[in-house]
Amino acid sequence: MNKKRIAAGLLTACIITFLFFPSSSRSALGPPFSSDARKASVPLHHYDPGIKTVIGAPERYLIKNKDTFLDIARHYRLGFNEMEALHPDLDPWIPPAGVWLVLPTHWVLPGSLDKGIIINSAELRLYYFMKAGVDHVVKTFPVGIGDTDWPTPLGEFKVGEKRKDPAWYVPPSLREKYRVDVIPPGPENPLGKYWIRLGNSSYGMHGTDIPWSVGRLVTHGCIRLYPEDIKHLFREVQPGTPVKIIYEPVKLGVLAGRVYAEVHGDIYRMIDDFVEYGYRRLQEEGVAEKVDMEKFREVLKRKNGMPVDVSLKEQKP
């Protein structure tokens, strides 16, 4: 399904603009999840900068009758894009029951911080770094971001104001079109129950009344999370926390002395020569001499978002 068509049918839960859907449309298209069907706790991943920068591990899931990629993605805290990229040959709306799926619950870290947030818009994923004593730990969440006409801005920010049950104030330029000045807190509010502003900008991280839009290019620049994930992040992150938004479709990490590459598509079409960009990333990370170039070229071609060991055969841990 064309992303433009999907974006046109989704609510753009950003403070700039949004589209209305009747409630019946949302309930019909959204995944039928109950609160006890979701994973209750957010996985906490330990890592050691420079030694271990690959977290998680692939999981397996047996498709059940009436499952969709939306159902499976939300249950495992994945975005729709991650499921679709890894399994392009399956129908995401009617995947075949009884088939085992590999789930992309495995990630190369896009850098690291002692404390703060990195959002890699190229993979539609947020990483929240913190310290637990002497340990480095990270939590990670899928996100929805700006579409190709309104891309999520890159740069460095700090967490600004935090609001629970925010109202959405429609910009003057859109009031005539939508015939409304403000959307009060409640189930129809496109910001969801929580809003975290990025500095003094008009952008923020927030929830959504359409959870199935996470993992898509649907907003006008804001970063949207599943309702249960923004609730967790809202509780933990404090004003002044650093936030970096980057665009890194090729990530390189280390696990047990081996080099791993994780490659995503160039969703914003910012890269003229993707292969040259990939080789440049090898040089930037200082791992070119440790990598099997044939393996690396294949990973660049697939762009399925899964970390792959691209080390030379003779390389020892």
The whole-angstrom separation of Cα 249 and Cα 239 is 29
Residue 317, in any domain of the structure: no
Question: Which of 87, 136, 222, 264 is flagged as catalytic?
Answer: 222
- Identify the pLDDT of residue 77: 96
Report whether 117 contacts 20 (CB < 8 A): no
Together in a domain, 236 and 223: yes
The whole-angstrom separation of Cα 287 and Cα 259 is 8
pLDDT, one tens digit per residue, over 27-75 is: 223 334 433 345 658 999 999 987 899 999 999 999 999 999 999 999 9
Domains in the chain, number:
2
Cα 250 to the center of its chain, rounded Å: 15
- Identify the pLDDT of residue 128: 97
CATH number at residue 211: 2.40.440.10
Residue 81, in any domain of the structure: no
Question: Which of 206, 220, 232, 264 is flagged as catalytic?
Answer: 206
Together in a domain, 36 and 170: yes
The whole-angstrom separation of Cα 149 and Cα 123 is 18
Is residue 146 within a helix (H) or strand (E), and if so which, with residue range? strand 145-146
In the residue annotation, 222 being an active-site residue is answered as: yes
Together in a domain, 234 and 193: yes
Together in a domain, 229 and 181: yes
Domain that holds residue 262: 250-309
Residue 175, in any domain of the structure: yes
Together in a domain, 207 and 283: no
The whole-angstrom separation of Cα 293 and Cα 299 is 10
Cβ neighbourhood burial of 3 (10 Å; 0-12, 13-18, 19+) = middle
pLDDT, one tens digit per residue, over 13-23 is: 343 333 332 32
Task: State which of 223, 245, 267 marks the end of a domain.
Answer: 245
Together in a domain, 145 and 213: yes
Map tokens 């399925």 to a residue: 304
The pTM of this model reads 0.86
Together in a domain, 133 and 280: no
Report whether 67 contacts 222 (CB < 8 A): no
pLDDT, one tens digit per residue, over 143-178 is: 999 999 889 999 999 999 999 999 878 767 657 766
- Identify the pLDDT of residue 20: 30
What share of the chain has pLDDT > 70, as a percent? 85
Together in a domain, 170 and 238: yes
Together in a domain, 216 and 121: yes
Together in a domain, 114 and 212: yes
The whole-angstrom separation of Cα 2 and Cα 243 is 31
pLDDT, one tens digit per residue, over 253-284 is: 999 999 999 999 999 999 999 999 999 999 99
Together in a domain, 41 and 152: yes
- Identify the pLDDT of residue 25: 27
Residue 299, in any domain of the structure: yes
Together in a domain, 16 and 43: yes
In the residue annotation, 220 being an active-site residue is answered as: no
